[in-house]
């Protein structure tokens, strides 16, 4: 037997052994990837205006020269990093023949979904490093299939990107502060050790989280403290240095786009924190995040909480995870404006605790078959609950009827003016969904008569949610009868809460 053939057979045996030992986690990652690709293709609509106006609309305006820009991209309270990524993806999709906005957006959602695989993979290694391989498998499996993580992984907003780097940073810092084994003394004498590289890339991860979503960088402080507590001075230097490096990069991006160093970060901080502008978007009670968690997980939250409580104990591992969760949660709790997406980054850390509790729960049962049965029951329950929440209680196409209505109007040949009367000014699809440079208006139902009279020489289309129309049907009908406005198209909703029916009215030139 030749040496080459022998080496080839040996490699083949090692590969087979690797697959035999790791087939479960490889399968989980494959399933996670497939699910996210499908979600990227089939997820549509928007759950929050930021999905439209902090990325899609800005990128569309850069490419086609028209779009409804939010104040952040007028006064410079946002970084151009993500919009320029979206611009590149848009151009790639257009190059390959995509023309419809929803088709173009598949590329952006796919990018976000692929980025979420960072968390799926890190969940395994983090859980394994903290507790055991079994805990790592459970944590990775939960993140892979849980509807909430899948849903947010394909949103076209910076939150969906930044939270992955948050989790990666927490993992890398934990690795860097662990004691090396006794046989690694010679290796540790090298300047660039494994732990140095881990701390360096942890800082890079914090920096990237900062660049995508400024407040997420708050994770840097507890990680900084943990490195100091463990007296890892060299690691601290590389961790801090790499963060500073990425902050400088962001500063240079702002200098090139806004004209001054770190302009977007400073403007963002001034508006939201110093000037209290965040409260203008709504204020919420101190304990609102508990209610938001229950609303997101519903009955399953009790199971999730149970396993977290089982996992709690007085050790450094729990303290590490708990300190980051509490620190991050407190920061966003003291900010008056609260949204569930703000605390998404800490959910992955809670999953690690829940996975530990899940592994620990049935160990008091001595019968192996019964113990396996309990594990299997909770795994099947989680998969079923996630599926039900995905396709029944929650919608992977929030406000999709609103988007469809805009695409329909944009394809009409005689449209001059489009007015949307649902919610706040930036609560509806923009010109990117119309894909036509027309006069675009937003306002309340009280503006209907003004719009109809002011634009009497134009073909006006009015888009309004049916639930808003029915609340003031008599008032609206009276005006429409006088102004010659008629119902043009109805887009029937699929979910009362997330995707309600949208009506399109037409006022011809008078």
pLDDT at position 109: 96
Tokens, residue 128 = 């394994």
Residue-range domain boundaries for the chain: 19-181+188-393, 400-507
pLDDT at position 8: 57
Task: List C-alpha distances in Å: 139 to 171, 310, 358.
Answer: 13, 15, 10
Find, among 354, 386, 298, 498, the residue nearest to 32 by Cα.
386
Helical pair 133-145 and 368-388, crossing angle rounded to 10 deg? 20
**Strands of the 486-491 sheet, one edge to the other:** 439-442, 417-420, 460-465, 502-507, 486-491
| DSSP one-letter string for 372-394 | HHHHHHHHHHHHHHHHHIIIIIS
pLDDT at position 277: 74
Residues 42, 267: Cα–Cα separation, whole Å? 36
Contact criterion met (CB below 8 Å) for 462 and 448: yes
Q: Could you tell me which residues come within 8 angstroms of residue 53 by beta carbon, excluding any fewer than 6 positions away? A: 68, 69, 70, 426, 430
pLDDT at position 31: 96
CATH number of 400-507: 3.40.190
| DSSP one-letter string for 231-297 | T-HHHHHHHHHHHHHHHHHHHHHHHHHTSSTTHHHHHHHIIIIIS-GGGGG----TTHHHHHHHHHH
Residues 328, 289: Cα–Cα separation, whole Å? 12
Q: What is the pTM of this model?
A: 0.91
Angle at 201 between CA 197 and CA 206, to 5 degrees: 150
Helix (H) / strand (E) containing 502 = strand 502-507
Q: Which residues in the chain come in under a pLDDT of 70?
A: 1-15, 18, 180-191, 393-394, 422-426
| DSSP one-letter string for 343-364 | GHHHHHHHHHHHHHHHHHGGGG
Contact criterion met (CB below 8 Å) for 86 and 420: no
The residues facing 486 across adjacent strands are 506
8-state DSSP, 100: S
8-state DSSP, 179: P
Residues 353, 174: Cα–Cα separation, whole Å? 15
């Amino acid at each position: 037997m030749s040496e080459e053939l022998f080496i080839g057979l040996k490699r083949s045996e090692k590969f087979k052994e690797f697959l035999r030992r790791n087939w479960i986690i490889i399968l989980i990652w494959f399933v996670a990837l497939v699910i996210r690709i499908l979600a990227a293709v089939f997820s549509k609509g928007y759950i929050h205006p930021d999905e439209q106006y902090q990325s899609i609309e800005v990128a569309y305006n850069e490419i086609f020269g028209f779009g409804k820009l939010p104040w952040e991209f007028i006064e410079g309270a946002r970084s151009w990093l993500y919009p320029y990524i979206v611009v590149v993806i848009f151009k790639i999709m257009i190059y390959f023949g995509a023309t419809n906005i929803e088709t173009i957006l598949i590329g952006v959602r796919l990018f976000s979904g692929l980025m979420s695989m960072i968390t799926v993979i890190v969940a395994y290694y983090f859980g394994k490093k903290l507790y055991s391989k079994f805990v790592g498998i459970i944590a990775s499996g939960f993140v892979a299939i849980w509807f909430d993580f899948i849903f947010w992984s394909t949103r076209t907003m910076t939150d969906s990107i930044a939270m992955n780097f948050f989790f990666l940073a927490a993992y890398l810092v934990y690795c860097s502060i662990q004691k090396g084994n006794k046989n690694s003394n010679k290796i540790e004498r090298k300047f660039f050790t494994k732990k140095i590289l881990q701390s360096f890339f942890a800082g890079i991860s914090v920096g990237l989280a900062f660049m995508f979503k400024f407040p997420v960088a708050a994770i840097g402080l507890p990680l900084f403290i943990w490195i100091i507590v463990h007296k890892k001075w060299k690691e601290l230097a590389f961790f801090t240095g790499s963060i500073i490096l990425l902050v400088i990069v962001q500063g240079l991006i702002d200098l090139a786009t806004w004209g001054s160093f770190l302009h977007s970060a400073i403007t963002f901080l001034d508006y939201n924190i110093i000037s209290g502008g965040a409260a203008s978007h709504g204020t919420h009670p101190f304990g609102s995040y508990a209610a938001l968690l229950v609303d997101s997980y519903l009955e399953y939250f009790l199971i999730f909480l149970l396993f977290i409580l089982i996992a709690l104990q007085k050790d450094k591992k729990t303290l590490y995870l708990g300190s980051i969760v509490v620190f991050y949660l407190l920061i966003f709790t003291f900010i008056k404006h609260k949204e569930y997406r703000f605390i998404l980054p800490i959910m992955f850390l809670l999953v690690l605790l829940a996975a530990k509790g899940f592994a620990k729960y049935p160990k008091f049962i001595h019968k192996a078959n019964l113990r396996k049965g309990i594990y299997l029951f909770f795994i099947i329950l989680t998969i079923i609950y996630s599926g039900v929440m995905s396709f029944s209680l929650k919608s992977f196409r929030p406000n999709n009827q609103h988007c469809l209505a805009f695409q329909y109007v944009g394809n009409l040949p005689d449209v001059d003016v489009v007015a949307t009367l649902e919610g706040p000014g930036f609560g509806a699809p923009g010109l990117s969904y119309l894909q036509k440079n027309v006069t675009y208006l937003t306002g309340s139902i009280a503006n209907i008569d003004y719009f109809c009279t002011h634009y009497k020489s134009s073909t006006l289309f009015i888009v309004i949610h049916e639930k808003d129309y029915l609340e003031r049907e008599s008032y609206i009908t009276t005006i429409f009868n006088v102004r010659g406005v008629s119902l043009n198209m109805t887009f029937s909703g699929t979910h009362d809460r997330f995707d309600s029916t949208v009506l399109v009215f037409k006022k011809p030139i008078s």
